[in-house]
Amino acid sequence: MLLIRHAQSEWNLRFSRTRIDAGPPDPVLTPAGREQARAAAALLAGLPPIRTIVASPYRRCLETAVLIADRIGVPVRVDALVRERCAFSCDRGSPPGLLGRLWPELAFDHLDESWWGRAIESQPSIRRRAAEFRDLARTWPDQERALVVTHWGFLRALTGLEVENGTLVRYDPTSGVACEEAVVPA
Q: Per-residue pLDDT tens for 112-137?
A: 999 998 789 999 999 999 999 999 99
**Chain centroid to CA 90: how far?**
13
Q: Which of 118, 121, 2, 128 is nearest to 55 (CA)?
A: 2
Q: Edge to edge, what strands does the sheet with 2-5 contain?
A: 76-78, 52-55, 146-150, 2-5, 168-172, 177-178
For 186, other C-beta atoms within 10 Å of its C-beta total 6
* pTM, rounded to two decimals: 0.94
DSSP H helices in 78-151: 96-102, 123-137
pLDDT at 16: 81
> What does the pLDDT average to over 3-12?
94
- The 10s digit of each residue's pLDDT in 151-167 is 999 999 999 999 999 99
- The 10s digit of each residue's pLDDT in 44-103 is 988 889 999 999 999 999 999 999 999 999 999 999 999 999 889 899 999 999 999 999
Q: Is the distance from CB of 115 to CB of 91 less than 8 angstroms?
A: no
Which residue ranges form the domains of the chain, and what is each CATH number? 2-178 (3.40.50.1240)
Tell me the C-alpha distance between 172 and 3, whole Å.
10
Band (pLDDT 50/70/90 cuts) for residue 24 is confident
